[in-house]
Structure 1
Amino acid sequence: MSARDRILNRIRQASTPDDVAWQGGGATPAIAMTDGADRMDRFIAQATAADATVSRIDNMAALPAALADELRGRNLPAAIRHGADPAFTALDWGTVETSQGVGRIDEPATLSRAHYAMAETGTLVLASGPDNPVTLTFLGETHFVVLKASDIKAGFEGVFAAVRQDGLAPRTLNMVTGPSRSADIGQVLQLGAHGPIALHIFVVDA
């Protein structure tokens, strides 16, 4: 082992936190090496810690009923606005009134689909476009997001690898962790300062 290697090893041992593993000369979060179930648990814990709420549904067909329950439990109208995503337009919404298009100011509730999520931080990754207009993410008072369990990645590295692999090229990728918040006013945390006051995530198992 060269003197350079010995020095680098000492630095790594002194500065590596418990949840980071060194691989191939670089730091890789340990979460990257966990399986899907562990990533799910980590994502839910981190998203909840960021003041989001999370529920799990078996499949997309279960979404309308689950959404109706959430709207009712939050004393919101039985109505939702979403984009042209085929995953939504193909559903039977039953008693939930739907409208399609961009987000509108003071919309009570909006619905988007996240392309990916990061277990490490509980962050959703949403791609802009007609299927999921970016305004739905920021203009609704309560933002509902659908996420496939299989799209939960470990962290940034996994997300951007998936973006490249899937050939995703939106104008913007929006990374959302919890509802909107700010502590700029009197150094007191305020939810809903610049966007939704509440964020609820439906994780679809299949």
Structure 2
Amino acid sequence: MSRDAVFASIRASLQGAPRVEQPAPVRHHPAPNEPASLARFLERAAFHACTHERIATLDELPMRALAWLESRTPLTTLWMASPLAELAWPATLARRSDAAAKDTVAAVSLAFAGIADSGTLVMCSGPESPITHNYVPEFHVIALRIADLVANQEAVWARLRERGAMPRALNLIAGPSRTGDVEQTIQIGAHGPRAVHIVLVG
């Protein structure tokens, strides 16, 4: 049977058949000013294998961050965002705010924002927060002010526009690094930290 004959047969069979309209899928796109949900953020962050704790002020960060890190690895040097270097870290701990090196084991960073809808941390690159801190260390502690929690990604772009100058790079972090490239077996820490701990401030 020729191609034209096949299509003619199909058209003939469809004539008179009722047309079924498929409803468009309903997708929820939160407005940028929709209130953020802390419970939703923590639920999604846990799904991404992040751990978390909460402190009242940033002054508590050194003690809590070190307790989490030292339970996992010995520390003599800690890389951190320069705004955090002025906090009361132990005098015996060497602090570095430059780019992470191949021997960097741990880093402590300050998130620009958190996205409640996806449990994602938003990190802006810059001299005070080198992008390598997000990828090189095995262990990453990220402080997030609860006031910087937004509902969705659209709200992040709105905040960046309000700030003015855009960062050179913007990283969206959803848990430890992982890959399934090797025999479809999930490997943690393949291209970045193998553990991410969120410290909520406020």
TM bucket normalised to smaller: 0.7 to 0.9
- Look up the equivalent residue of 2:26 and give its one-letter code: T
- Tell me by how many angstroms 1:41 deviates: 1.1
Q: Deviations over 1:169-191 (max 9, x none)?
A: 11101111101010011001111
User: Quick one: distance in 1 between partners of 2:165 and 2:54?
Assistant: 26
Partner of 1:180: 177
Q: 2:88 aligns with which of 88, 92, 106?
A: 92
3-state SS of paired residue (1:135)? helix
Q: Which moved more, 1:100-109 or 1:57-66?
A: 100-109
- Look up the equivalent residue of 1:71 and give its one-letter code: L
User: Quick one: distance in 1 between partners of 2:47 and 2:185?
Assistant: 18
2:41 is the alignment partner of 1:43: yes
**Could you tell me whether the CA contact under 8 Å between 1:68 and 1:78 is conserved in 2?**
no
Task: From the two aligned structures, give the one with the greater strand fraction.
Answer: 1
Count of aligned pairs: 181
**Larger Rg, first or second structure (1 or 2):** 2
Q: How does 1:24-173 map to 2 (within 5 A)?
A: 28-29=29-30, 33=34, 35-36=35-36, 39-77=37-75, 79-84=77-82, 86=83, 88-94=84-90, 97=93, 98-173=95-170
- Look up the equivalent residue of 2:89 and give its one-letter code: W
Q: Deviations over 1:36-62 (max 9, x none)?
A: 5xx111111111110111111111100
- Tell me by how many angstroms 1:94 deviates: 2.2
3-state SS of paired residue (2:105)? strand
User: Quick one: distance in 1 between partners of 2:92 and 2:199?
Assistant: 16
Question: So what's the TM-score if we normalise by structure 1?
Answer: 0.80
3-state SS of paired residue (1:170)? coil
Partner of 2:199: 202
3-state SS of paired residue (1:68)? helix
Q: Deviations over 1:158-203 (max 9, x none)?
A: 1111111122411101111101010011001111011111111111
User: Quick one: distance in 2 between partners of 1:149 and 1:74?
Assistant: 26
2:186 is the alignment partner of 1:189: yes
**Could you tell me whether the CA contact under 8 Å between 2:81 and 2:110 is conserved in 1?**
no
User: Quick one: distance in 2 between partners of 1:95 and 1:201?
Assistant: 24
Identity between Structure 1 and Structure 2 (%): 33
3-state SS of paired residue (2:68)? helix
**Could you tell me whether the CA contact under 8 Å between 2:32 and 2:155 is conserved in 1?**
no
- Tell me by how many angstroms 1:75 deviates: 3.5
3-state SS of paired residue (1:139)? coil
Task: From the two aligned structures, give the one with the greater helix fraction.
Answer: 1
- Tell me by how many angstroms 1:102 deviates: 0.8
User: Quick one: distance in 2 between partners of 1:67 and 1:94?
Assistant: 12
User: Quick one: distance in 1 between partners of 2:105 and 2:185?
Assistant: 25
Change (3 A) 1:166 1:30: closer
Bigger RCO (CA 8 Å, 6+ sep): 2
Change (3 A) 1:78 1:53: farther
3-state SS of paired residue (2:156)? helix
Partner of 1:16: 26
**Could you tell me whether the CA contact under 8 Å between 2:32 and 2:154 is conserved in 1?**
no
- Look up the equivalent residue of 1:100 and give its one-letter code: S
Where does structure 2 lack aligned partners over 5 or more consecutive residues?
Answer: 1-20
User: Quick one: distance in 1 between partners of 2:32 and 2:167?
Assistant: 27
Partner of 1:5: none
Where does structure 1 lack aligned partners over 5 or more consecutive residues?
Answer: 1-9, 21-27
User: Quick one: distance in 2 between partners of 1:52 and 1:82?
Assistant: 19
